[in-house]
Structure 1
Amino acid sequence: MKQFAVLIFLFAASVISAQQAQSVEAFRKLTTTAQRFAFLADSNVVKMDKPAYDAILPVIEAKKDDKTLFFWHFQYMRFAEQFKVFNDELFPKILENMSNAAAKRGLDIESVVAQYHIAFDDFGNKKLSEQQVYSAFIHCFEKIKRLGIDNFRPYSIDQILLQIGGNFYALGDYDKALECLLEAENLNKPKLYSSPHIHTLILNLIQSIYADAKNYPKAIAYAEKIYDLNLNNQYDAEHSWFSTFWQGLSSLDIALYLFEMGNFEKGEKYADRGYAKYKAQEDINNPEKVVAAFDALYVLIKIKLKLGKLNEVEPLLKKVEFFKTYIPLSTEANYFKPLKLYQNYVNYYEAKKDYTNAFRYMKLVAELQDSLERRNDKRKLWQIESRVKSDNYLSQIQSAEAENRLQERLRNLALITLVLFGAIAFVVYRRIKKDNQTITKQKTLLEQSLGEKENMLREIHHRIKNNLQVISGLFDKQSRQTWDETTRKLMKEGQDRVFSIALVHENLYQSDNLTTIQIKSYLETLTKNIEKSQKSEFQDIALKLDVDDSVLDIDTAIPLGLILNELITNCYKYAFKDRTKGEIQIRFHQTANKMVLDVQDNGVGLPQNFDIDKTKSLGINLVRGLVRQLDGKLDFTSSAEGTTFTICCINQVA
């Protein structure tokens, strides 16, 4: 019986080997590159085992078909999971082979594909930073457009464009991201996508870009596309939740966009549809489903509160509180999840006129909102810095490529010299002349690049100033919408602080020197704004300046402007209480060793028990912090004849 089993095994093995041999022989008979591509792209090839696939390689090498050689390595990388050959050294080796195959005959398209996958792999292995891979991806994307996107179809171009567009989006380059992702969408044939999931991710990123720009009609259109795609393209049983998830998420996104557009009734229908998708597959043991239901309830509750349906809101709030206990809120991804819940509670209790509970949740909202805004501010700053660093890195890549090309020419020149020393003298002369022209041209390009970088820095200062003016306008608008005088004053103080920072950036981008500003003109404009903002029409308070012609860098000018803003504002608020006349003197002088700022008034003076180190005043505490930032010292004197604040700092001459 055992012998019979062995015979059957040997027969089966011989049949498999014969099938492998037939596949290799069939490949050998193919005469064109297109036929070989089609053979290797056939899903049946994946069913071959690794030895059979390896047996095709010598056939390709014998035919000297470099494009097919590259494609063989590319497909091998895709089949690695089926071949069960994963290890740490596999992909770098495959990528090296792909790069070598592309370089043999100068295959431009294949070279770009290799560059993309090398950059992607290096980023995954943390050999490249996000800024560096951004630069590499820009390089690849420009080449893909130049060479024609259709020519990249065999190489899963949808996945390449998705990854590149996602990187652009992460670094805040939304225009470039949208350009890339629209190219991916314009492939326009679903069968060309690796999977409906890839197609969905492309549409979702485009939707997010339009939503960030508040172009809600277009965002809704793309959310509808996602819903239809996942309604008609069902995943396999193992991944069926993906289809439900995207149908639910797209419905909820549409609900939020309609909410922003003021169409609450229609938004409610989409919110109900989105929550129904998640509710049908509710599973507290699945974290993804719990988070999805939690987010869906937030949208549904928000809209129902707006529509005044309080009787429907209460059971939904209990449900979301139940889900909250199953969400790991300590993780970075879920840390701000309660903010949505607390915002709904504020609106719920306000609608019920339970202002005690509304105020309690309002405090929780304020704490989380402040933390979220700080994180978002850091993120925006990181995006700006990252793109600037990426530009520098891209310049370095281009310089390195130019240097490598020059070195290759020199090596070839040396080899020719050994063979034809006599004849090469003339060639060397011509080459040196050409290299000098190249150097001159590169010098011109470098000077042009430097000018472009200066324009970019000037544009950054201009945009920062514009953004700060927008923030200042928001403060002004908010102050005009409140009847609380204290709140209006706080808004006005915030507006003045933002103006003092924006003024620095305005001076920088208007000057020839993008790193320093003239302190005299800056302080004159700043004090005029403070005077206009704070001075009462019933008071005659003179504001006098004695400022030298020093120049300061941005790191000194901004804190100095904020300090001056706080001190002058305090003079107007407190120094001339119950007085109609007064005088404020500002003196700023800089020597070789130090700089000194004096703010003096002839007002009523500070209280006798005033302790500058123990005061809880926001303005004074801000001044103390800014003085420490400048590595300076803060002193003051006060009497019934007035008060003088003196800030003395180590010299910061630029």
Structure 2
Amino acid sequence: MAKKLGIILYFYFAFAALSGFAQDLDPLDNDALLKFQNAESVSDRFSFFFETVNRYNTNSAYDWLDAVERYIKSAENGGDSLAVKKYKLIQSQIYFDLGDYDRSVAVATKIYSEKHKLDKPAKELLLNILDDNYSRLELYDKQVEIRKKKRELGFKNNISFYDIYSNLGFHRQAMKDYIMDNKNEFEDNDYYGRAIYHNSIGNFLLLDKTTSTALTNFSKAKGLIDVYHNDMSVVKTESDIINANLLKGIIEGNIGKCYLQMGQFEEAIPYLETSISIIEENNIGRTSTEVNENVLALAECHLRLNRLNIAKDYLDIDLELTKPSQIIKKNRLYAVYYDRIGDFKNQAMYLKENVRIRDSLEINQSSIKTQQIATIIAEENLEDSRRQISLQKLEMEQTRSDMAAMDERTNLVFISLIFTLLGFAGLVFAYLKSIKNQRLIAEQKHIIENALVEKDSLLKEIHHRVKNNLQMVSSLLSLQTKNTRSKAAIEALEEGKSRVKAMALIHQKLYQNDDLSVIEMQGYIESLVNSVQSVFKKGGHSINITIDAEGVELDIDRAIPFGLILNELVSNSFKYAFPEDKNNGKIYIHLRKNGDQGYFEYTDNGIGLPDDSEERANSSMGIRLMNRLVNQLQSNLNIDKTTEGVRFWFNFK
């Protein structure tokens, strides 16, 4: 994901990563691909893949694709045709998750020709994959055929045509039919189902530009999904929780798009940003059309608010856009941006590109749409004259909409010609305006310098807030310690609090520095050691601590794991190295960095490591944590027993 989206999501995911840090210590627990490969049979692997929601959490979809292709070749060599079909069905789903809908539907279509050899659950999965692909590719007539086959086979899920009606532009008709078929289907305590119901109605209304009513329905849906999350009487699986989170993210985005349509751009932005964060967190490894739409909506909000640099950052994100409507919208926003900055050449280029796309679509759009509508009408058996007349009216409305779109295209062509002429006229006067341009460059330089100052201030504020949030976590751990009687639990909470303080100190040093990219390590280490001393309050004044890190600076990616390593080492020295609180205790901390290479050494003259230290290292959370953190620094932790005490050291890049 590009830079701007990364900035938006960084802190959200950083906190999520910290909260799940303990689980991450053992990657085998979360390695879905390894569990998939260790399954005993084809059926076990097939079931595991489709039942695992966060299957791309540890390994990417491309890793899965490589593994599945090996299984396909093995099954083909062994002549197991049923295994080949099941593995290819998994392959088709992975291609869909990657957004490669053409390859996904190509693989699934080959399986479809021999679907009679599959059991009922596998048939339903195959039909659902084809259904989803045809929807993304806007092949609605083929989508109708798939749903007809679902009905024939007795499947109950996703067999209606509301979404297809809406995709063809008949939003009101789709909403009326949806309400008629679903309004009495949900129990009062079915909060999740009712949230889906109100979100679906809101979608139809949003597409129909009935924005205020749509917002009311989205607000109801948001309240219902929050109740569902907080309802402790219902046992929820991991899949239930992730699907509910995704629905909440989609609803948040829909609310943001409502505010965008109503011109309330400041109100729209936090909803759209929250939506992207939630969907990205719960849709790992999959392409999301909702994220694409929300990014474009954020770009439009910032353009309307004249925040051109932020809008450009969002537009420059490399989105995997598959729908022509999204590509046209992105080009339109680029054209607006270049109009605002006076770059009429680039503006004309994007406007012409949209004209080309619209021309290309209009060549076959009318006949294809007529064919798709005819397929739906035949399938729905519209002998009822009221419904037939209603559809004809909707088709007439769509025709008028198409005519309006054609007028808009003509206007765009005219506007592009005008701006082209203006561009040529600007070249004639370029020499006369050279002095004015120099003045403009100086002003722009001043604006850029001010923007950089503002950016530094914002980054410092962000680091300050992160530090405050981590201090709040530390305070919460302290409160939990007071309410805990178990000595082991208290020690674990104190260790967690010490690690949180080490990370908080990093962010404190960052917002206190003039240079936000690096941290001066001498002062940081001194502050960290003082913090550990204040926690243990034993022998602090009788232990001589020497810190040799003058002039060493590390970026935040290295400083955080380094700080956690040092926190573990100093804490262990205070806890175990000097049990009798002897007066000649010494700790030596040495850190040096020469170019891209660095060296760290930590020694104390305490009682040293026990004889079974290697066995304890395998079971000790602290040693395992330090090994993981040193691995992040692309190195290995070395431990040497000395005549007095112990020595830890490693080289890093």
Give the TM-score normalised by structure 1: 0.41
> Looking at both structures, which has the greater relative contact order when contacts are Cα pairs under 8 Å and sequence separation is at least 6?
2
Structure 1 or 2, whichever has the larger Rg, is 1
